[in-house]
Structure formats: C-alpha cells, structure tokens
C-alpha cells in the first residue's frame, strides 16, 4: 500500500491506497499532519510505503479530497476498504457517506438509523479514516449545533458554508440500498443557528 500527500493551495490532501482500494484519506495544514492522520487509520498488519509522488490512481483520489474540501459536488468510483473495521463502524460510515452535499444529519438521527447512541456515532466520526470522502463534517449536534470536529469547529463551519445549495426542505434518504432511512436537513439550518448566513 502506498501513502501519498499533495499540496493544493494551503491544504495538504492525503491518501493511503492500493489501487483500486482506498484505506484512508485526510486533509491538513501540513504534509506531516496529513500523513499522521493516514497512519492512524491504516490497518496495523498491512505493509505500506510513503511515496514522494502520487500514482495516477492516488492523484485522482487526492483531487476528490480537495474537491470535497472546496464544497464541490463529486462522485467517485474507487472502493473504500472497510473490512478491517467493526460492523458498527462500517454501518455508521455507510450512513454518513449517504448524506448528500447541501444537507446535514444529527448524531442522534444517524444513531436511530444504524443503532447505538449519539455518543457512539460521535466516537466513530472522531476516528473517521476517510475524511472528507465520508463527510463527517455533515454530522451535527442536536438542535443544529456544530457538535465536534477533529479539524476544529471553524473549519467545520467553513466547509458547511461552502456546501450550501439553497435547499429548504428536509428529506429521508435511503442508507445502503436498504429499507433504512436517514433524515437529513438543509445545511442552511445549521448556518442560521450559528449565525453564518
């Protein structure tokens, strides 16, 4: 498996991958921090090497990370390697990955969809190995408060601000192609609550 980091403006994006699978993604203010975040999520029994230049596949994943960071609506075709994660963690990450751009869900709503408690969902979000591809920044506290965020609340607020799309109504979305539903709300509700209109 290869670990790669690339600078886009002021942000470093990172990826741990073995084409066509992605074991982790990150973004940070420095190359060292982006790589450190990747290492925290790499399975302990998988050998890896840090490369100075990204492969073509890694480059496409890094660009995806940057585009999500910039608030762009993206799609991707690579696989997120989750088999080493617990079943519960996979369920939380799957539900979070289904939250579309322009919307947020609460920790409690995710917990209602996948089981467990809001705190358990928060613990999974805090260790999310696929940020921002699995958009943990779109999971917020009760009453549309920001909750927590590893990159800091100012960054979470800024990312959500870039994702506003002018949606008005909440909606129910399917999670993982099953009968499970997750209620999501327009990101504008969070931004109004925290006074960033």
Residue with tokens 């090497």: 49
**Strand 139-140 to strand 103-106: parallel, antiparallel, or no bridges (unpaired)?**
parallel
Strand partners, 15: 4, 25
Answer yes or no: are the C-beta atoms of 25 and 131 closer than 8 Å.
Answer: yes
State the first-to-last Cα distance of the chain, in angstroms, to the nearest integer: 43
Among residues 136, 160, 182, 191, the one annotated as catalytic is 136
Angle subtended at Cα 161 by Cα 111 and Cα 66, rounded to the nearest 5 degrees? 85
- Residue 166 per-residue DSSP state: -
Our answer to whether residue 17 is catalytic in this structure is: no
Q: What is the DSSP string of 133-150?
A: TS-GGGEE-GGG-----T
| Active-site annotation, residues | 136
């Amino acid at each position: 498996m290869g670990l790669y980091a690339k600078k886009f403006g002021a942000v470093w994006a990172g990826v741990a991958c073995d084409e066509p699978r992605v074991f982790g993604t990150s973004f940070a203010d420095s190359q060292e921090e982006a790589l450190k975040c990747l290492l925290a999520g790499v399975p302990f029994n998988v050998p890896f090497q840090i490369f100075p230049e990204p492969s073509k596949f890694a480059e496409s994943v890094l660009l995806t990370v940057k585009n999500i960071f910039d608030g762009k609506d993206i799609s991707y075709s690579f696989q997120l390697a989750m088999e080493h994660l617990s079943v519960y963690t996979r369920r939380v990450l799957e539900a979070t990955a289904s939250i579309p751009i322009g919307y947020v869900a609460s920790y409690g709503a995710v917990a209602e969809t996948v089981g467990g408690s809001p705190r358990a969902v928060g613990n999974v979000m805090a260790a999310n190995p696929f940020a921002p591809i699995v958009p943990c920044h779109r999971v917020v506290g009760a009453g549309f408060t920001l909750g927590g965020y590893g990159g800091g609340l100012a960054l979470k607020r800024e990312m959500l601000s870039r994702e506003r799309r002018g949606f008005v109504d909440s909606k129910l979305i399917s999670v993982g192609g099953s009968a499970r539903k997750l209620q999501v709300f327009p990101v504008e509700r969070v931004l109004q609550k925290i006074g960033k209109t």
